[in-house]
Structure 1
Amino acid sequence: MNASLPAAFSVELGALLGADGWRTDAAALEANAQDNSWRHALPAGVALPTDREQVVAIVRACRAHGVPIVARGAGTGTTGAAVPVNGSIVLSLARMNRILDIQPGNRCAVVEPGVLNGDLQHALAPHGLFWAPDPSSADICSIGGNLACNAGGPRAVKYGTSRDNVLGLVAVTGAGELIQCGGAYTKDATGYDLTHLLVGSEGTLAVIVEATLKLTPRPVTQAGLRVLYRDADAAAAAVSRLMAQPVVPARLEFMDARSLELLRRNGAEVPEAGAMLLVEADGDHDTLPYLLQALADAAEGDGMLALDVAMEGSAREALWAARKALSPALKSIAPGKVNEDVVVPVSRIPDLVAGVQALAREYHLVIVTFGHAGNGNLHVNILYHPDDADENARAHAALPKIFELTLALGGTLSGEHGIGLAKRDFMAQAFTPATLATMRAIKQALDPDGILNPGKVLPPG
């Protein structure tokens, strides 16, 4: 029994969940001690419920005994939101992994939070449907985790993020109350929109135990463009042109010169250029050529070097395989990486790119920039050697400057990774005191004792 937990609490959870559902052994604690941010803190215990009633009972027990609780999906998040600080227990939703219902007629699916994004997509394929969010970890990340941080991915430019693709939720508040909001309908003007409040709240307001997801018909066909530019400024200006015309690309990805150099180093056939855009259109066989031509016309302009069309098949797959390989390939430059997914208005992308390049020169760092340009959501990767004290210090000194630049351009701290621990202390720069006070009031209302994911998202008041 874990000496840091009240004995009565451990007995209560053991009786509720059984020996395989309430774990305090070293292996279980270590397996739930970190997420993909590589922050690490051992939990006081790990609870593995199998249904919503058990989640209610766990939260009520935690409240009664003053035990903090961190809900956890697959642990693929990058901001430390799932790291169990402050002596928290982990509430793992891995066993709540059932697809409860697929309703093609209503274009929705009802799922438990532990369902993996990839498994859901496979189940939807025979119905000709898909769920839009496609983060890079889509095969292994959970729906609950996607909802917790409002995950997006390349398709978000046309189809939206997790928040845009959820219709209803069932959740357990920090008071141990089961609440229901939304449902299998796309229009609702009834009361407060709790559904979209909970999405992106990173488990600080309630634990999601069921979600009704909005589904989209799969396109008949798609095709892509690979467009090379003289420099990052020219590519960024093209993004503004692409998003200013009527045809919305299904994906629009930006890669700077460092990104292209890295792809070549790892075997991808990418010509030398100052920057590259990957643009994709989807539709039916009759309309796709016209959509693609409109995107190609917008991509053309000052600084464009070359434009290639990749129709459906191996050429298109090779384009996106190169893009997906980019993030893992960063390790070949340096073992340390600070990956921030900042967002600016699309028209300010040229200023963000130029500002990041200036910071790379000022701090003598390698900074690789790529990402979902159609949403203004770029991933700024500061690469460094942690064992080099001077370089380590420069990397972490540059980070606040990235955020200052983003906010000065009218942007925001995160587009899809969330806040967690990594960006919590910068929230006071992003919001006024009155706005933060409103957020804290909402937290107090739904989690009166502050037991849900303490220390995350909101800076100390």
Structure 2
Amino acid sequence: MSIAPALVRTLAGIFGPALATDEPSRIAYAYDNSRRHALPDAVVFPTEHAQVEALVRACREHRTPLVARGRGSNTTGASVPIEGGVVASFERMNRILRIDPDDRLAVVEPGVLNGDLQRALAPHGFFWPPDPSSAPWCSIGGNLACNAAGPRAVKYGTPRENTLGLRAVAGTGEGFRCGTHTSKGATGYDLTRLLIGAEGTLALITEATLKLTPKPTEVRTLRATFRDVESAAHAVARIMAQPVTPCALEFIDEVALKLAHDHAPEAGIPLAGALLMIEVDGEPAVLPAAVEAVSRAARGEGLEELRVARDAAETQALWAARKALSPAQRTIAPDKINEDVVVPVSRLPALIAGIRRLAARHDVLVVTFGHAGNGNLHVNLLPRDAAERERAHACLAELFALVVALEGTLSGEHGIGLAKRPFMPLALEPATLGLMRAVKHAFDPDGILNPGKLLP
């Protein structure tokens, strides 16, 4: 579609030179890390809340789609403007407005990068727990849109547990605040948690009040290798069943280890049936006992080696396998299908066994790794040609059915976007989807905010 000239004039009045309608600019904001793309008709770069209110009102008046965007690291197509219209890139709303150590909170605009926020918090002795692998370049707004968490979620929670309040603009063009500046609150509906994970389909977030956590004094890193993936999966269940919660518990399967080893042989990546990367944090007086408790739980049938890093250099070396995974996979399959799924931790052995059966049945290379402490695995299908791509998509549908049968869910942190939208009826019953559509209509009665995403 092409937007009305009257809307272009209105946008020019709101944004001035921060409006782009030239083709190169539109192409630059036509895609995300899902490799899907669709050309918007215009791109705007808000710098303040009032502009966002005016933007939404203008788009609503002209019934024009409006897609909010962070830095485009999403893997499900959630920020691709599939119906054209206007893309609002929040990269210039990137101020850290307030850091308040006494109240353990920070107030930020959505375009602040996760990594920049962590660096700003470090001198105060705090951090914001969500730490997706894209943290150096992903934005806080994007983290909130998909509830993107990362390894530390196993102990410290996701953005939903680490956000106190939001300022936003609904699809009506009306600005509002929700949440509190306090760690407790029971005043009405929890709109803050509702907006987080909504992928910009309900409102555009313009400010976030984030809950901060004191940085632990020390961290210990452990690496455990196992004979097979089933042994590692059972070890995860044992570790999560004892009182000491690790701050990271990452799983890497045999196929992933071999890929990483071949890609970076100098890194000393072990070849094994599976590997667990475990981190434990805390105060020096209690950390040795915590490490021993986790080590004791890791030991069991199938354990081949358990190593504890002695210093920062060895810690970095132990993490080499995890860091080498993404480049290794891209080398083999530029069109890799990267999905994240979640099951209860006790069902991880069944999920991993099921994934291996599906890979064999469909004759597709599948690499599995991820945040095992949450039961959140990243399942990467690596098709190398058109025939394998077709088999991979058939395999994916069966994977989602398996996850739901194991009482799991379609996504832990990547979101739904375009990629998983067709499978929503598999995960949610009609009454639940009906209520979600009613919520969408209340926030966005004309359906202009990120249309075609999330809800089937």
TM interval, short-chain normalised: over 0.9
- Return the alpha-carbon distance in structure 2 between the equivalents of residues 49 and 131 of structure 1: 25
How much has 1:88 moved relative to structure 2?
2.3
How much has 1:320 moved relative to structure 2?
2.2
The residue that corresponds to 1:421 in the other structure is: 418
How much has 1:184 moved relative to structure 2?
1.6
How much has 1:312 moved relative to structure 2?
3.7
How much has 1:286 moved relative to structure 2?
1.1
Residues 261-340 of structure 1 aligned to structure 2 (within 5 Å): 261-265=258-262, 266-267=264-265, 268-340=267-339
Structure 1 counterpart of 2:13, from 15, 19, 27? 15
Alignment length (residue pairs): 454
Runs of 4 or more above 3 Å deviation: none
Query: Residue deviations 1:198-235, cap 9 Å, x none?
Result: 00000000000000000011111101111011100000
Query: Residue deviations 1:247-304, cap 9 Å, x none?
Result: 0001000011011111211223122210010111001111111100000000000111
- Return the alpha-carbon distance in structure 2 between the equivalents of residues 67 and 324 of structure 1: 41
One-letter amino acid matched to 1:69: L
One-letter amino acid matched to 1:6: A
Identity of aligned residues (%): 60
Could you tell me the TM-score, scaled by structure 1's length?
A: 0.97
Pairing 1:257–2:254 present:
yes
Pairing 1:374–2:373 present:
yes
The residue that corresponds to 1:49 in the other structure is: 46
Residues 79-98 of structure 1 aligned to structure 2 (within 5 Å): 79-98=76-95
Secondary structure at 1:196 match in 2: helix
- Which segment is superposed worse, 178-187 or 105-114? 178-187
Asked if the contact 2:221–2:315 (Cα under 8 Å) also holds between the matched residues in 1, the reply is: yes
The residue that corresponds to 1:78 in the other structure is: 75
Structure 2 counterpart of 1:4, from 2, 11, 14? 2
- Return the alpha-carbon distance in structure 2 between the equivalents of residues 273 and 15 of structure 1: 61
How much has 1:124 moved relative to structure 2?
0.4
- Return the alpha-carbon distance in structure 2 between the equivalents of residues 447 and 318 of structure 1: 49
Structure 2 counterpart of 1:61, from 58, 61, 68? 58
Asked if the contact 2:260–2:269 (Cα under 8 Å) also holds between the matched residues in 1, the reply is: yes
One-letter amino acid matched to 1:384: P
The residue that corresponds to 1:194 in the other structure is: 191
Residues 83-232 of structure 1 aligned to structure 2 (within 5 Å): 83-232=80-229
Asked if the contact 1:222–1:311 (Cα under 8 Å) also holds between the matched residues in 2, the reply is: no
Asked if the contact 1:252–1:279 (Cα under 8 Å) also holds between the matched residues in 2, the reply is: yes
- Return the alpha-carbon distance in structure 1 between the equivalents of residues 454 and 437 of structure 2: 10
Secondary structure at 1:384 match in 2: coil
Secondary structure at 2:293 match in 1: helix
Q: Which runs of 5+ in 1 are unaligned?
A: none
- Return the alpha-carbon distance in structure 2 between the equivalents of residues 287 and 100 of structure 1: 36
- Return the alpha-carbon distance in structure 1 between the equivalents of residues 71 and 310 of structure 2: 34
Query: Residue deviations 1:61-96, cap 9 Å, x none?
Result: 000011110000111110000001112210111111
Residues 345-360 of structure 1 aligned to structure 2 (within 5 Å): 345-360=344-359
- Return the alpha-carbon distance in structure 2 between the equivalents of residues 182 and 315 of structure 1: 42
Secondary structure at 1:325 match in 2: helix
Secondary structure at 2:92 match in 1: coil
How much has 1:328 moved relative to structure 2?
2.2
How much has 1:121 moved relative to structure 2?
0.6
- Return the alpha-carbon distance in structure 2 between the equivalents of residues 341 and 74 of structure 1: 20
Asked if the contact 1:221–1:312 (Cα under 8 Å) also holds between the matched residues in 2, the reply is: no
One-letter amino acid matched to 1:285: P
Asked if the contact 1:136–1:324 (Cα under 8 Å) also holds between the matched residues in 2, the reply is: no
Secondary structure at 2:102 match in 1: helix
- Which segment is superposed worse, 104-113 or 311-320? 311-320
Alignment RMSD (CA, Å): 0.9
The residue that corresponds to 1:37 in the other structure is: 34
How much has 1:157 moved relative to structure 2?
0.3
- Return the alpha-carbon distance in structure 2 between the equivalents of residues 389 and 422 of structure 1: 18
